[in-house]
Amino acid sequence: MSVNVIEAGGLGKRYGGTWALRDCSLAIPAGHVAALVGPNGAGKSTLLNLAAGLAEPSAGGVTVLGGRPAGSRAAADGIAFVAQDTPLYKNLPVADMLHLTRNLNRRFDQAYAQGRLAELGIPLKRKAGKLSGGQQAQLALTLALARRPRLLLLDEPVAMLDPVARHDFMAAVLTAMADDGVSVVLSSHALAELERVADYLVLLSRGRVQVAGEVEDLLASHRMLTGPAADAGRYAERPVVHLQRGEAQAHLLVRATPHDPVPPGWEAHPVGLEELALAYLREPGAGALPGPARGRSTQTSEVTR
């Protein structure tokens, strides 16, 4: 059960003189929906493309599904990737897209694909380009799932979809996970939505991994402290991730567990995924520490001693 679906060591990708991703080391365990979060240009798509074997690393290496080199045949057989722009041949009827995908892949479950499209009411004769945005996304997902992957990579899968289509798309992805145990790694900006979808978080910033860990562990090891602004400076010694200071009151996101003592005059509140991710995104420098889940240098227990 300790198989990593993506494992990268010193991974880097340079386009011209610019590093899109550098010194990226992470290990995403199987059985999760892992969310890649970060500002535009942080390296999310690059990481997904490297894992899918669609790009060659400039430095380091990446393996998938328990050590298969990315891009190898063994890796490709186990991975399905839906790229950002829902890549479909817009002039081909749906049936031809199925046919094409079946011929391009060693494994393709035609019955599953047809059954799924029928369930969704997507007509086989219609040209892919004439489908609604939600249907196009569902078609791309169906083609990906019909390959029966062990790892599903999704790059900004719902960015272009309306709320109902987003919900239906994510429901389909998560149902596939419930049915077949497929692991999912997806990039997204929709933090509020990730709250109930993702149970593993990778925050990327400026081409580097800022935070990585199981959401549950991350949330359990961070607290929001609220208290007098005049005292906020006193916590400089502690691992403060983000500080919001008003005239009188300050909010500090700190690394601390619910068992750590709360300073007198301060209140501690649990944080959600969105609040946590936003705090880190606002403080790209706070990425020096590894994710608490796999903490190496700083243990959260020493945080508020």
Partner 1 sequence: MDIDKEIRTEGRPGGGDGETAPAGRTGAGSPVEFRLDAASGVPTYLQLVHQVEHALRLGYLKPGDQLPKVRDVVAALAINPNTVLKAYKELETKGLTAGRPGQGTFIQATLSQVTLPELAGLRRSLLGWLASAEAAGLDEDGMVALFSSALRDFFNRRGGSAGGRGTAGGETEGVA
DSSP state of 72: S
Phi first, then psi: give them for residue 262, nearest 5 degrees.
-95, 130
Under rule CB under 8 A, residue 167 binds partner 1: yes
In 89-114, which positions are buried (b, 16+ CB within 10 angstroms) versus exposed (e)?
A: eeeebbeebbeebbeebeebeeeebb
Under rule CB under 8 A, residue 166 binds partner 1: yes
Among 54, 83, 159, 177, binds partner 1 (CB under 8 A): 177
Q: Which is nearer to partner 1, 13 or 150 (CB)?
A: 150
Under rule CB under 8 A, residue 198 binds partner 1: yes
Closest distance between partner 1 and the C-beta of residue 197, in Å? 6
- Angle (nearest 5°) at CA 287 between 211 and 173: 25
Q: Which is nearer to partner 1, 121 or 163 (CB)?
A: 163
- Region from 28-36, 48-56, 73-81, 260-268 binding partner 1, contact rule CB under 8 A: 28-36
**E strands in 174-272:** 183-187, 200-205, 208-214, 222-228, 240-245, 249-255, 267-270
Among 96, 195, 217, 231, binds partner 1 (CB under 8 A): 195
Q: Which is nearer to partner 1, 134 or 239 (CB)?
A: 134
Under rule CB under 8 A, residue 170 binds partner 1: yes
Q: Cα–Cα distance between 176 and 74 in angstroms, integer? A: 21
Neighbours of 58 (CB within 10 A): 15
Under rule CB under 8 A, residue 192 binds partner 1: yes
Closest distance between partner 1 and the C-beta of residue 269, in Å? 9
59 burial level (CB within 10 Å; 0-12, 13-18, 19+): middle
Q: Which residues bind partner 1 (CB under 8 A)?
A: 31-33, 163-164, 166-168, 170-171, 174-175, 177-179, 190, 192-193, 195-199, 272
